[in-house]
Amino acid sequence: MVRVERGGRVVYERAVGTLRDDGGGPVYVDTRFDVASITKVFVSTVALALVARGVLALDEPLLGASTLRMILAHTGGFRSGADYRTLFDEHIETFAAREPLVAAPGERVVYSDLGFLALGAALAARTHTALEPLIEGELRALGSERVTFARRARYEDVPATERDAWRGLVQGRVHDEKAALAGGVAGHAGLFAHALDVARLGEWYLAPRFGRPSPLPATLALAATTEAAPDAVLRRGLGWALKTSDANSCGARMSMDTFGHTGFTGTCIWADPQRDLNVVVLTNAVHFGRHDLRDVRAAFCDAAVAEFAP
């Protein structure tokens, strides 16, 4: 499933393929995919909405000495992740919050599932609301009514991700193992969305630059999509990754102001504010084995620039 927007309007959209390798029905433009780590950007957007309302502050300690700004920029010092097979007897959110840091808060970028797992728990605690209704409710208020965790996704309408030894065929359930151990609801993975709502996420951050309405204050939208932390592989904004080189999966043609995020299942969004171009690709790259889609994502982004915003 692919969608391209220019100036906040769709210029190309196409759905191809089936829900499983044995059929299961076709993929449509409104088919919801497990967006994997794009969940982090939806959750960070909820956090920024809470900042805008004064519920949270970007630069006050939120988890130990780590501030919200640090956690969103992956400089909170949290470990990247953990082997799910060692966590069956653990409460996963507690584990994420108590694990020793691998860097001093603010020191360097360590892309971290555990940091966003702990963030989800912290948001729930701060708002006195369970994470599932908190995230879904805030996203509906922002304008994305169909972004949900798996329990609200119809099993038969969701493309299957992977067959694994633990769960068999994973369809209509979160693919990420740590999110599965958290009951399918977590701060780092677990949301299901269709291409329109993923594109809408990018539009919320593009729109203020061009005078279009956005549910986020322009100052926060701009702060989230400019460099908060340097890194040789992927610079970090707040929740968003920023293009760092032509080797990134947004390809060679998008500008160095481009922001986006990928998901392990095969999803991605990249938005180029110089071109007002927003590109979404939703696939299940793990269905036939865990393959790297960097070249496919880059080729599609390059093609979108060439066709719609040269």
Q: Which residue has the tokens 């299901």?
A: 192
Segments making up each domain of the chain, as ranges: 2-308
Q: Which residue has the tokens 């340097």?
A: 230
Instruction: Return the half-sphere exposure (C-beta side, CA atoms, 13 A cut-off) of residue 108.
Output: 9
Mean model confidence pLDDT for the chain: 95
Whether residue 276 has pLDDT greater than 90: yes
Q: How many residues does the chain have?
A: 310
How many other CB atoms sit within 10 Å of the CB of residue 8?
Answer: 17
Could you tell me if 287 and 161 are in contact, meaning their C-beta atoms sit under 8 angstroms apart? yes
pLDDT tens per residue, range 238-260: 999 999 999 999 999 999 999 99
Q: Which pLDDT score is estimated for 299?
A: 98
Given 3.40.50.300, 3.90.45.10, 3.40.50.800, 3.40.710.10, which CATH number is that of 2-308? 3.40.710.10
Could you tell me if 174 and 150 are in contact, meaning their C-beta atoms sit under 8 angstroms apart? yes
Could you tell me if 221 and 238 are in contact, meaning their C-beta atoms sit under 8 angstroms apart? no
Is the model's pTM score more than 0.75?
Answer: yes
Distance of CA 72 to the CA centre of its chain: 12
Q: In what order do the strands lie in the sheet with 267-272?
A: 9-14, 2-6, 277-281, 267-272, 259-263, 241-242, 235-236
Q: What is the mean pLDDT of residues 23-46?
A: 95
The three-state DSSP-derived secondary structure of the chain is CEEEEECCEEEEEECCCEEECCEEEECCCCCCEECCCHHHHHHHHHHHHHHHCCCCCCCCEEECCEEHHHHHCCCCCCCCCCCHHHCCCCCHHHHHHHCCCCCCCCCCCCCCHHHHHHHHHHHHHHHCCCHHHHHHHHHHHHCCCCCEEHHHCCHHHCCCCCEECCCEECCCCCCCHHHHHCCCCCCCCCEEECHHHHHHHHHHHHHHHHCCCCCCCHHHHHHHCCCCECCCCCEECCCCEECCCCCCCCCCCCCCCCEEEEECCCEEEEEECCCCEEEEECCCCCECECCCCHHHHHHHHHHHHHHHCC
pLDDT tens per residue, range 47-88: 999 999 999 999 999 999 999 999 999 999 999 998 777 776
pLDDT tens per residue, range 95-114: 888 899 999 999 999 999 99
Q: Which pLDDT score is estimated for 153?
A: 63
What percent of the chain lies above the pLDDT cut of 70?
A: 98
Whether residue 121 has pLDDT greater than 90: yes
Q: How confident is the model at residue 189 (pLDDT cuts 50, 70, 90)?
A: very high
Return d(Cα 178, Cα 117) in angstroms, integer.
9
